[in-house]
Structure 1
């Protein structure tokens, strides 16, 4: 019979516990003027651009016709601007809207410079304003400016984004049931 509280080399078995990961920001966590530099850059590939252009039926040959694009002022295909928007917004979700119940709008969208295959995009969000919801007690409304840059520090995109974000008291986050997990899935505290 073996002692289950020790490892093979006789050292005590470490205590096992369920520890909370990042649950995202709740309405109370936002402060006007805060800037969140979103983790991880993302290199845009030719496949990203061609796939997204075809899926969205964007028929501008600048995105999928190399011969056409070579004859333009850019000399090569450009990445579809709506892909750049989707990518930057997606990068911001971890910091801005993991706990959003809805996105109310995207305003002041500006493409500052073209994005090419092989560019690596980085994004950050600055909190511009926040306010209580007039019609829903469980959320607040947060407006951020989302800015995206390429590897050469050139700003390629900016936009304002306004999600409704849950208040912490209504979210009831826990280590055993983080956002998006159904109750009882995976390791539970009683399994420790």
Structure 2
């Protein structure tokens, strides 16, 4: 026989909602996301090989140098994933469905050891026509390297719950 008197009843624990709600995002509002991330060669190799993305530009320094680069480049999709990740806490951590990325432009190569930081601006915020109590928010996100040079920009959208639902 099992003693259940010390087993916590998980239904009694309050759920702490994280992230933001739809009404927080008014067009023009700017979010400077936290401190950034230095992306290493190890990050790049792990990411590229896990995805079977075997481009020598990302995995072979000599090949990259022979094609005019100072070193092997970071896989651009690693940079994109990192930048999206840096913005999640401020923009979409409440868990609303991700609706996609548009207008994604890789402005310049990023190399192992570079540090990216990111900021986002709300470009549109509107109630959902099909989901009462939800809204669609559109952000333009820009990433910069440690020299404040733009390396990436894109537009993304999420469906977010209204404050009343959280």
TM-score by length of structure 1 reads: 0.76
Separation in structure 2 between the aligned mates of residue 121 and residue 114 of structure 1, nearest angstrom: 12
Unaligned stretches of 5+ residues in structure 2 = 1-15
* Secondary structure of residue in 2 paired with 1:101: coil
Separation in structure 2 between the aligned mates of residue 106 and residue 26 of structure 1, nearest angstrom: 20
Aligned pair partner of 1:36 in 16, 31, 35: 31
1:161 matches 2:156? yes
The CA deviation at 1:67 is 2.0
The CA deviation at 1:59 is 1.8
Structure with max Cα Rg? 1
Aligned to 2:101: 106
The CA deviation at 1:22 is 8.7
Separation in structure 1 between the aligned mates of residue 92 and residue 157 of structure 2, nearest angstrom: 9
Unaligned stretches of 5+ residues in structure 1 = 1-20, 172-192
Separation in structure 2 between the aligned mates of residue 96 and residue 35 of structure 1, nearest angstrom: 11
CA deviation vs aligned residue, 1:18-66 (integer Å, no higher than 9, x gap): xxx9932210111100110001211010101011110111121000112
Aligned to 1:138: 133
Return structure 1 stretches of 4+ with deviation > 4 angstroms. none
Separation in structure 2 between the aligned mates of residue 52 and residue 126 of structure 1, nearest angstrom: 28
The CA deviation at 1:115 is 0.3
Separation in structure 2 between the aligned mates of residue 98 and residue 76 of structure 1, nearest angstrom: 35
* Secondary structure of residue in 2 paired with 1:116: coil
Aligned to 1:94: 89
State the aligned residue count.
151
Aligned to 1:77: 72
- Any conservation in 2 of the 1:100–1:163 contact (CA below 8 Å)? no
TM-score by length of structure 2 reads: 0.87
* Secondary structure of residue in 1 paired with 2:44: helix
Give the RMSD, CA atoms, in angstroms. 1.3
